[in-house]
Amino acid sequence: MSILTILITIILPPLAVAMNKGVGKDLIINIILTLLGWVPGVIHAFYVNSRG
C-alpha cells in the first residue's frame, strides 16, 4: 500500500474502498460501517485494501 492510499483510507474510508474495488458489496458495507462509526469504516477499508 502506498502512503497516498493509507492517507485516503484514514481520511475517507469509502473512497479508498471504491478506488480499490469499485462499486459493489464491499463499498456498501464500508459506507454502512462508516456511518455507524468512523473507526469500523477505517478498519474495514484497511482489511479490504490489504487483501487485494
6-16, pLDDT tens digit by residue?
999 999 999 99
Residue 38 lies in a domain: yes
* Count of the separate structural domains present in the chain: 1
| 20 within a domain of the structure (yes/no) | yes
Contact 9, 16 (CB under 8 A): yes
The pLDDT, as a whole number, for residue 7 is 96
pLDDT for 52 equals: 67
Domain, as residue range, for 21: 10-50
Of 51, 35, 52, the residue nearest 13 (C-alpha) = 35
**Distance (Å, rounded) from C-alpha 24 to C-alpha 37?**
20
pLDDT at residue 31 tops 90: yes
**What digits encode the pLDDT tens for the residues 33-46?**
999 999 999 999 99
CA distance readout (Å), 48 to 17, 28, 43: 7, 12, 9
